[in-house]
Amino acid sequence: MDIPGNREFLKDSIRLRIDFSATDQARGVPQPPIEKPVPPGVEPMPLPDPGALPFGKDLDLRAAIARRRSQRRFLPAPLSIEELSFLLWATQGVRDPDRRQPMLRTVPSAGARHALETYVAALRVTGVEAGLYRYLPSRHALVTEYLAGDLGKRLARACLGQTFVGEAAAVFIWATIPRRMEWRYGLAAHRVIPMDAGHACQNLYLACEAIGAGTCAVAAYHQEQMDALLRADGEEEFTLYLAPAGKVGA
Ligand SMILES: Cc1cc2nc3c(=O)[nH]c(=O)nc-3n(C[C@H](O)[C@H](O)[C@H](O)COP(=O)(O)O)c2cc1C
């Protein structure tokens, strides 16, 4: 097996791969939007204010870290919209809504580029019709992508038959818009984008501990099938990482 090329890619790529004079940022190309726009005529669905939610206020951080594990067995119970709001805030929420540029979040991101878009497949979320939604960090709201009752099965298929994915109450799907990161870091963008996705997923693991839920990171999926489910073009936006979440037994 010949893998040194990929190994080299993981090393020191900031120094080796960025010619800062040649990046889009240096050439004066306008910064790509930090968030996908809301399509004309679409009214985003506001989520409950995360600041007013009690989740996690009494949770010992040490206990949450110690308890965290990948969960693949979900109870039939739904998640509430408040719980979904909390999980979205924990994974990509805006830290200081009054400060617009850069739009800092509850997770770190290389150069604060935030080259992720968060999609949520709501399979069993009280008050949210089953379907695919996109999270708007700037407004802490959801945009409806499309409604569908059979998304669980389609997601499980696209995750190479991992049935537990379709048995979750909600599936978090992180797509990347790499241009946002390439604008500043050129080729080195591709090394740091997956690191950013890891931060989001780890926060999801920990936030789940606060609401009696669990999750499991999923990187094994069929790229074209997942991109088709997101209606992403597979080039300027594509799937990177998933995490089904739902209530779990004690
Ligand atoms: C990047 C990444 C990809 C993963 N992909 C999958 C996956 O596709 N399917 C799965 O069942 N678990 C997946 N996992 C979960 C790991 O199997 C799990 O983290 C590992 O077995 C350790 O167990 P723990 O998380 O309970 O400590 C993934 C974890 C990571 C970090």
- Specify the pLDDT at position 112: 95
Mean pLDDT of the 24-39 span: 95
Report the separation in Å between the CA atom of 63 and the middle of ligand 1, taken as the mean of its atom positions: 20
Task: Count the neighbouring beta carbons within 10 Å of the beta carbon of residue 96.
Answer: 9
Q: What is the pLDDT of residues 194-233, one digit of tens each?
A: 999 999 999 999 999 999 999 999 999 999 999 999 999 9
How many of the other CB atoms lie within 10 Å of CB of 15?
A: 8
Predicted confidence at residue 14, as pLDDT, reads 64
Query: Is the CB of residue 131 less than 8 Å from the CB of residue 120?
Result: no
Q: Sheet holding 141-147: strands in order across?
A: 45-46, 141-147, 131-136, 116-122, 170-176, 238-247, 213-215
Distance 114 CA to ligand 1 centre (A): 23
Residue 98 pLDDT greater than 70, yes or no: yes
Q: Whose CA is nearest to atom 6 of ligand 1?
A: 218
For atom 30 of ligand 1, the residue with the nearest CA is 217
What global pTM score does this model have? 0.96
Pocket test for ligand 1, best of 216, 223, 248 (most atoms within 8 A of CB): 216
- Interhelix angle 189-209/81-92, rounded to 10 degrees, is 140
HSE, CB side, 13 Å, CA atoms: give it for residue 41. 1
Domains defined along the chain, listed by start: 4-247 (3.40.109.10)
The predicted pLDDT at position 3 comes to 72
pLDDT tens profile 108-144:
999 999 999 999 999 999 999 999 999 999 999 999 9
Instruction: Quickly count: other Cβ atoms within 10 Å of residue 17's Cβ.
Output: 15
